[in-house]
């Protein structure tokens, strides 16, 4: 069902990620955890599992001393004031598939956590190493932040580091700075009366799953009264697509599909009874010229975005690359 | 982007020419004396206020000069009157038409004529950009030299920039970037983009963090214009100033006296020293040695700066300093101003969302803005329209179409039909709405693909091995 600790640790080893494992009695809080692994020279982490009013979930993973103000975060995420709460216990089990006291970035490996946004404290980056639960409360592992990034990327997630203590002004000219990191889809838990069916998701491959191209239709919630509000919000969500690359620009198949779709749409619209009559044999070269003229810029733009996305992924990988220690 | 500050009234109106060789005077014979700006003005401000940089009387009369700078890089892409005698060059009010020919004469730059456009066409083997064909970019300095060198096989690099004072970007801001992208693609040359976050921090009293944040946000919109990451280096002053860049800043600084900079920018004893020492920051990106990670070994590389014509005085100063420190003068290619929605009587302003189309506008907002606020030259009634036709001189929808409608034939057709009255304002507006909606949606989509990692990659001081291929 949910990923197990053993599976996770094996996965980390496959990825050649160095970590140190500490076993200890079950702990439910950072204080308790600190008793066992507080002195190993690694930074502990406090992990909050949060939910907003639109049934979207977030993991905030931070250094214990970092102040996390839910009101400020809520505004920065574009949820207004008081939009963020601690998620209920059931959500922990249903979505993250971890026990109480065990919220951890690693839980994103589970399919059910596909739409959970993860925000990491940028303070982690300046630590030698950091400690997280590997899907179980009786173990802690310490690893470097870049290795955590490598793991997240390997499960198709984007590591996002944020200054959690920053309090930028949010107003008319200053849109919420973290709005892009709010999930694009909400998660319906089984006991919720109003089901909000998730929108059509993208093909898996290596595309991070919380990206969402604009063509995907917005699903309407069941309740009529909230329909309008939800629709408007979904529209907003559409334009706030996350910081992960959109599929057509990182996935080769989708890229090719997009080009073919545009071309064939134009082709079909140009070949009509009238145009056949008008141009007869010349229709082929006529349509070909039209396609060239109309689509040339658009396809070039698509291509440059694809190129930039690929370069960026290579660049990121390059700066995280560590030569094998001999 | 630095606004040209108050020009010392005495020196300009009464003082002899020699007293301040760098101030601009519009004499009745139309000659200007020397140059205005120390620093190369990045194009962000190119789309910015028209002649606040320059001229003259109204600047002198207006005490609120600094305010206009403070209110941001808005932008007064408006037509103003440049008659020297009345010199109603008022950055906050738009009235009258600009006589671009006179401007060119006054500044001493050159007209970008058809033969140059044809030459660009030949050298790049692709149709010249719509802004060239329609005369949006219409003046230049030393473009011929750049093209001569290019023909010989000596490439050049592009330099442009933006002062990130707000997140709200409108179409006028995009114009210089759209053109720069075309230049990059057509000539296959590298580009450096300067984000003057330090300037905005100083002039608009933003915190350092906020100006850096805005710089990054603006970088995303700039990247969304479609620049090629293998040929483009974006940098923020806070991140990049230092090393070779700073060495050039000092060299430039040594060539400009305090008096000169006061004369050009109107600094007073009350202005803080940050402002006074800022101008070289904008000058030195014109020199390739400022970017050793890109251009080391290429000290002879020339620089071409696309900008709006009000920036010309700034670059004249840079061109003045360049030979004294052993560098090529940067070349310029200059544009006219992007009109506000309300036409000559309006100005684009950050506080008035209806004065411009923003890149975040929804299709409905674009439609409403064009329909409700665009100033038209159409007649009041359908009947009159059919009889007399539209006044194309003042019609904003047609002006906007001439910026963004690529198809020359279609534009010509619209002008004919509308000008003669066979076409109604409604139809022209509709065409514009469709066009702009497509543009804005494309931009939004591209913007959504820009990740923080992509911004980091564009802004990393990294080599660009294929920047000329």
**Structure confidence at residue B346 as a pLDDT band (50, 70, 90):** low
When CB atoms are compared, the residue of A244, A300, A307 closest to B451 is: A244
Taking chain B, what is the end-to-end CA distance rounded to the nearest angstrom? 31
Express each pLDDT in B145-196 by its tens digit.
Answer: 999 999 999 999 999 999 898 888 899 899 999 999 999 999 999 999 999 9
When CB atoms are compared, the residue of B449, B457, B460 closest to A249 is: B449
How many angstroms separate the CA atoms of A255 and A249, rounded? 6
Express each pLDDT in B253-279 by its tens digit.
Answer: 999 999 888 877 778 899 999 998 888
Instruction: Determine which of B184, B454, B462 to mutate to test the interface with A (most A C-beta atoms within 10 Å).
Output: B454
Q: How far, in Å, are B177, B179, B234, B291, B323 from residue B227 at the CA level?
A: 9, 11, 10, 19, 31
Strands, E assignment, B1-111: 110-111
- To the question of domain B88-338 being in CATH 3.40.50.620, the answer is yes
How far apart are the CA of B427 and the nearest CA of chain A, in angstroms?
21
- Please give the residue that has the higher pLDDT: either A163 or A205: A163
When CB atoms are compared, the residue of A175, A304, A315 closest to B167 is: A175
User: CB B380: neighbour CB atoms within 10 A?
Assistant: 7
* Residues of chain B contacting A158 with CB distance shorter than 8 Å: 451
**Chain B stretch 172-191, residues whose beta carbon is closer than 8 A to a beta carbon of chain A:** 185
pLDDT given for residue A193 in this prediction: 38
Per the CB < 8 A criterion, the answer to whether B33 and B260 are in contact is: no
Instruction: Determine which of A312, A318, A320 to mutate to test the interface with B (most B C-beta atoms within 10 Å).
Output: A312
> Is the Cβ pair A315, B166 closer than 8 Å?
no
Q: Is A80 on the interface with B (CB under 8 A)?
A: no
Per the CB < 8 A criterion, the answer to whether B354 and B341 are in contact is: yes
How far apart are the CA of A5 and the nearest CA of chain B, in angstroms?
30
How many angstroms separate the CA atoms of B39 and B42, rounded? 9
How far apart are the CA of A262 and the nearest CA of chain B, in angstroms?
14
ipTM: 0.75
Express each pLDDT in A3-44 by its tens digit.
Answer: 888 888 888 888 888 898 998 888 888 888 888 888 888 899
Largest CA distance in chain B: 68
* Residues of chain B contacting A168 with CB distance shorter than 8 Å: 209-210, 213
* Residues of chain B contacting A160 with CB distance shorter than 8 Å: 452
If you count residue pairs, one on A and one on B, with CB atoms under 8 Å apart, how many are there?
71
Stretch among B6-15, B229-238, B265-274 having the lowest mean pLDDT: B6-15
Per the CB < 8 A criterion, the answer to whether B209 and B249 are in contact is: no
Mean of per-residue pLDDT scores for chain B? 80
Sort A318 into a burial class: Cβ within 10 Å, 0-12 / 13-18 / 19+.
exposed
Sort A265 into a burial class: Cβ within 10 Å, 0-12 / 13-18 / 19+.
exposed
Stretch among A74-83, A135-144, B240-249 having the lowest mean pLDDT: A74-83
Per the CB < 8 A criterion, the answer to whether A57 and A91 are in contact is: yes
pLDDT given for residue A177 in this prediction: 82
Q: Is A232 on the interface with B (CB under 8 A)?
A: no
Q: Is B457 on the interface with A (CB under 8 A)?
A: yes
How many angstroms separate the CA atoms of A187 and A178, rounded? 20
Q: Is B250 on the interface with A (CB under 8 A)?
A: no
When CB atoms are compared, the residue of A175, A245, A300 closest to B451 is: A245
* Token output for B434: 């469709």
Specify the CATH number of the domain B354-448: 1.10.240.10
When CB atoms are compared, the residue of A160, A169, A305 closest to B446 is: A305
How many angstroms separate the CA atoms of A25 and A27, rounded? 6
Inform me whether the pLDDT recorded for A228 exceeds 50. Answer: no
Mean of per-residue pLDDT scores for chain A? 78
Inform me whether the pLDDT recorded for A245 exceeds 80. Answer: no
Please list the residue range(s) of chain B that carry CATH number 3.40.50.620: 88-338
- Please give the residue that has the higher pLDDT: either B242 or B54: B242
Please list the residue range(s) of chain B that carry CATH number 1.10.240.10: 354-448
- Please give the residue that has the higher pLDDT: either B469 or B56: B469
Inform me whether the pLDDT recorded for B40 exceeds 50. Answer: no
The whole model's pTM is what?
0.61
pLDDT given for residue A244 in this prediction: 52
B269 contact partners, CB below 8 Å, separation of at least 6: none
Output Rg (C-alpha) for chain A, integer angstroms. 23
* Residues of chain A contacting B446 with CB distance shorter than 8 Å: 301, 305
Instruction: Determine which of A305, A306, A316 to mutate to test the interface with B (most B C-beta atoms within 10 Å).
Output: A305
> Is the Cβ pair A214, B445 closer than 8 Å?
yes
DSSP string, B49-94: -SSTTT-HHHHHH-TTHHHHHHT-S------B---TTT----TT--
């Amino acid at each position: 069902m949910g990923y197990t600790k053993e599976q996770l640790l094996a996965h980390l080893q496959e990825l050649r990620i160095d970590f140190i494992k500490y076993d200890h009695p079950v702990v439910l809080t950072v204080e308790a955890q600190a008793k066992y692994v507080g002195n190993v020279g690694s930074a502990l982490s406090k992990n909050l599992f949060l939910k907003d009013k639109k049934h979207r979930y977030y993991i905030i993973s931070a250094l214990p001393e970092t102040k996390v103000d839910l009101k400020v975060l809520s505004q920065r995420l574009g949820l207004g004031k008081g939009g963020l709460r601690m998620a209920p216990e059931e959500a922990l089990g249903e979505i993250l598939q971890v026990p109480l006291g065990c919220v951890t970035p690693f839980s994103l490996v589970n399919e059910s956590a596909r739409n959970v946004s993860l925000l990491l404290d940028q303070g982690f980056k300046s630590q030698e190493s950091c400690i997280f639960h590997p899907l179980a409360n009786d173990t802690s592992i310490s690893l470097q932040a870049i290795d955590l990034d490598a793991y997240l990327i390997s499960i198709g997630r984007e590591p996002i580091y944020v200054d959690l203590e920053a309090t930028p002004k949010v107003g008319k000219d200053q849109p919420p700075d973290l709005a892009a990191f709010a999930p694009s889809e909400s998660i319906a838990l089984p006991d919720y009366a109003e089901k909000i069916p998730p929108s059509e998701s993208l093909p898996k491959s290596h595309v991070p799953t919380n990206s969402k191209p604009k063509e995907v239709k917005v699903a309407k919630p069941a309740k009529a009264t909230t329909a309008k509000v939800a629709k408007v919000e979904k529209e907003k969500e559409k334009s706030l697509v996350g910081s992960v690359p959109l599929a057509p620009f990182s996935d080769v198949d989708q890229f090719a599909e997009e080009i073919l779709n545009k071309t064939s749409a134009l082709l079909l619209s140009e070949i009509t009874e009238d145009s056949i009559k008008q141009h007869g044999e010349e229709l082929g070269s006529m349509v070909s010229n039209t396609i060239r003229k109309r689509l040339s810029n658009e396809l070039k733009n698509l291509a440059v975005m694809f190129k930039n996305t690929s370069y960026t992924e290579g660049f990121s990988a390059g700066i995280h690359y560590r030569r094998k220690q001999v | 982007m630095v606004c040209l500050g108050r020009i010392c009234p005495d020196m300009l109106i009464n003082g002899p020419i020699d007293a301040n060789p760098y101030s601009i005077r519009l004499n009745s014979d139309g000659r200007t004396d020397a140059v205005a700006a120390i620093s190369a003005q990045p194009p962000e401000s190119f789309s910015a206020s028209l002649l606040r940089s320059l001229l003259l009387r109204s600047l002198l009369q207006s005490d609120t000069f600094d305010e206009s700078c403070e209110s941001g890089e808005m932008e007064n892409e408006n037509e103003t009157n440049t008659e020297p005698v009345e010199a109603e060059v008022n950055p906050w009010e738009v009235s009258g038409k600009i006589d671009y020919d006179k401007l060119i004469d006054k500044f001493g730059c050159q007209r970008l004529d058809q033969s140059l456009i044809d030459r660009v066409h030949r050298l790049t083997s692709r149709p010249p950009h719509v802004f060239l064909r329609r005369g949006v970019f219409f003046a230049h300095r030393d473009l011929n030299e750049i093209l001569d060198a290019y023909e010989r096989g000596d490439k050049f690099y592009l330099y442009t920039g933006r002062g990130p004072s707000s997140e709200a970007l409108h179409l006028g801001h995009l114009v210089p970037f759209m053109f720069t992208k075309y230049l990059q693609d057509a000539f296959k040359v590298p580009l450096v983009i300067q984000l003057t976050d330090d300037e905005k921090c100083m002039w608009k009293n933003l915190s350092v963090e906020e100006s850096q944040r805005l710089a990054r946000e603006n970088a995303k919109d700039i990247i969304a214009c479609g620049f090629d990451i293998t040929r483009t280096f974006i940098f923020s002053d806070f991140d990049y100033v230092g090393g070779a860049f700073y060495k050039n800043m000092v060299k430039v600084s040594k060539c400009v006296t305090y008096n000169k900079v006061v004369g050009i920018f109107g600094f007073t004893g009350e202005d803080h020293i940050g402002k006074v020492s800022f101008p070289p920051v904008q000058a030195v990106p014109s020199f390739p040695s400022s970017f050793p990670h890109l251009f080391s070994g290429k000290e002879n590389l020339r620089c071409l700066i696309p900008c709006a014509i009000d920036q010309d005085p700034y670059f004249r100063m840079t061109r003045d300093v360049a030979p004294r420190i052993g560098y090529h003068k940067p070349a310029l290619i200059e544009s006219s101003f992007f009109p506000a929605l309300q036409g000559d009587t309006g100005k684009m302003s950050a506080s008035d969302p209806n004065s411009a189309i923003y890149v975040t506008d929804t299709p409905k907002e674009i439609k409403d803005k064009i329909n409700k606020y665009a100033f038209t030259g159409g007649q009041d009634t359908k009947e009159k329209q059919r009889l007399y036709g539209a006044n194309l001189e003042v019609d904003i929808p047609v002006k906007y179409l001439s910026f963004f409608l690529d198809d020359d034939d279609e534009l010509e057709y619209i002008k004919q039909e509308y000008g003669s009255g066979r076409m109604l304002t409604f139809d022209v507006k509709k065409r514009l709405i469709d066009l702009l909606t497509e543009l804005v949606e494309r931009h939004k989509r591209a913007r959504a693909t820009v990740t923080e990692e992509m911004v980091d990659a564009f802004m990393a001081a990294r080599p660009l091995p294929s920047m000329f291929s």
